[in-house]
A = this chain, B = another copy of it.
Amino acid sequence: MSNAKNPDPEQSPSQPTGADRRIPEAVIRRLSLYSRVLQVLERQGIEKISSTELGERLGFNSAQVRKDLAYFGQFGVPGFGYPVQDLRNNIKRILGTDREIRVALIGVGHLGTALLSYDGFRKQGFLISVAFDLFENLEGVGAMRVPIFHINQLERRLEEFGVEFVMLAVNPEAAQGIADRLTATGISAILNFVPVRLRVPSKVRVHDVDLAIEMESLSFYLK
């Protein structure tokens, strides 16, 4: 567009600069990492940072930092860099984590209990407000005072507690059936700890946290 050598500028509409382009998943994950670095800087009272410094802290190229941010707007000042607090606010807004998000946990076994007690979530604004299990005798109040219901109350209670997304930590046999029920209720994001490939409609987003695969792939690089 601004390339003077282009003989026919009218014919080159250039790429859209807004949110039009499809954003690669990797960009979103890096955004989250930037946010974490900016949080540290903010606590230290540092007010600006260049793409080079921000990249170095995470092992990324400075062009990558600038390009990632440019997907969403212009946040920097040429000659200076990026204002720390302002940029962090913008990233939180882009990620949608500038507010409290209510989450449900399904499956209160060992892993589920650890997730209930993990305070990293609350720090990021994620509030586990309700949990479910397949065993009736777990009903009651679990760690962190979170109410636990039997799975047969799933639909009703998700609604009641205003749950926006779900962490799934049940046994592999139960996972797909529950995923089906979740998508039927309109849940659009699942953090899946079950080592099973869930079949869901394309509008539903599933992120797998697969410890066995992490271990196996690490093992490949041993020594």
Contact = CB atoms under 8 A, between A and B. Distances in A.
A174 interface: no
Given A120-B211, A188-B221, A36 B195 contact: yes
Nearest to A216: B32
Contact of A113 (B97, B114, B189, B213): B114
Contacts of A103: 215
A34 to B, nearest CB: 11
Nearest to A96: B219
A209 interface: yes
A64 to B, nearest CB: 15
Q: What is the total number of copies of this protein in its complex?
A: 2
B114 A212 contact: no
Contacts of A59: 197
24 contacts: A32-B212, A32-B213, A33-B213, A36-B212, A58-B197, A94-B220, A95-B216, A96-B219, A101-B219, A110-B113, A110-B114, A111-B114, A111-B118, A115-B211, A118-B211, A121-B212, A121-B215, A124-B216, A165-B218, A165-B222, A189-B219, A191-B215, A207-B217, A209-B214
Interface residues of A, number: 53
A28 B216 CA distance: 9
A218 B197 contact: no
A188 B29 contact: no
A21 interface: no
